[in-house]
């Protein structure tokens, strides 16, 4: 199964807020939902999916294993706990959320456990998140590139992460962009606004379309139904080569997510 190009993110959303966001998104036609153990919203997401009435086989559900569950004894039980909360027998994609701080649990150990989860049918695909080139190489050595569906990384016009993206592509590993709108910073960008005006589109639609046109998946979140609906229209927008070059020129290595407790030595 290939990773859908467009999905719903749920980072920082909890309780009724995330339930409403997921239900609205599914009603509007979203079919991929991204969550994580550390978001503490898996049960809410599971409730929203159950109440939506959308059949499980129509959905693509992703979650991420937190660093405290990386040991080979803990990873599969933690995934089973996530499945219970999400009210599903399997995930479509399960990711390692961050590298293990100070290599406390070796890459080979947690990737091996994740592959075992896939072999047990607990997840259809596996992958990584926030992995550098060096860490991707370790993961590939552990389970083979063919078993790594994606590397989910911070990627937006101000941090285009080209080295990581190019290495992943060379190995056949898909890139999923998170924070594609840079916490809304890019929505005020004059270059993106000018492109949006030319296409009679919103800056968010332009930015999401840019990432998808580069071959990446995107998982924007919103608590507003109107924004969820508007973002979805990015799937129909085609940017010109000139548009793409103008956005390419905005890269300035501006990283927004760099938690010292888990962040690797970035490329």
Burial class (CB in 10 A: 0-12, 13-18, 19+), 102: exposed
**Burial profile 46-73: b = 16 or more Cβ within 10 angstroms, e = fewer:** bbbbeebebeeeebbbbbbbbbebbeee
**Catalytic: 60?**
no
Rounded to 10 degrees, what is the CA torsion of 134, 90, 178, 78?
Answer: -60
Cα atoms in the 13 Å half-sphere on the side-chain side of 252: 6
| Nearest in space to 94 (alpha carbons), one of 55, 120, 42, 129 | 129
Residue 246: φ, ψ to 5°: -65, -40
The backbone region for 144, taken as left when phi is positive above 0, alpha when psi lies in -120 to 50, beta otherwise, is left
Catalytic residue among 39, 60, 178, 216: 39
- Enumerate the active-site residues: 39
């Amino acid at each position: 199964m290939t990773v859908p190009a467009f999905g719903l993110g749920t980072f920082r959303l909890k309780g009724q807020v995330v339930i409403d966001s997921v239900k609205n998104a599914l009603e509007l036609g979203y079919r991929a939902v991204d969550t994580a153990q550390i978001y503490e919203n898996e049960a809410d997401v599971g409730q929203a999916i159950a109440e939506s009435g959308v059949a499980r086989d129509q959905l693509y559900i992703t979650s991420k294993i937190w660093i405290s569950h990386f040991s080979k004894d803990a990873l599969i039980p933690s995934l089973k706990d996530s499945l219970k909360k999400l009210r599903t027998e399997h995930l479509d994609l399960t990711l390692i959320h961050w590298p293990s701080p100070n290599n406390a649990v070796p890459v080979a150990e947690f990737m091996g456990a994740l592959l075992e989860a896939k072999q047990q049918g607990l997840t259809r695909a596996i992958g990584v998140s926030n992995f550098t080139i060096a860490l991707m190489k370790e993961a590939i050595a552990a389970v083979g590139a063919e078993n790594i569906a994606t590397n989910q990384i911070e990627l937006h016009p101000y941090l285009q992460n080209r080295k990581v993206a190019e290495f992943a592509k060379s190995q056949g590993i898909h890139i999923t962009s998170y924070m594609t709108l840079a916490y809304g910073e890019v929505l005020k960008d004059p270059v993106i606004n000018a492109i949006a005006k030319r296409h009679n589109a919103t800056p968010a639609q332009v930015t999401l379309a840019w990432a998808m046109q580069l071959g990446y998946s995107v998982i924007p979140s919103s608590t507003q139904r109107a924004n969820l609906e508007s973002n979805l229209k990015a799937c129909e927008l085609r940017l010109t080569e000139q548009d793409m070059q103008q956005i390419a020129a905005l890269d300035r290595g501006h990283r927004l997510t760099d938690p010292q407790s888990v962040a690797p030595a970035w490329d």
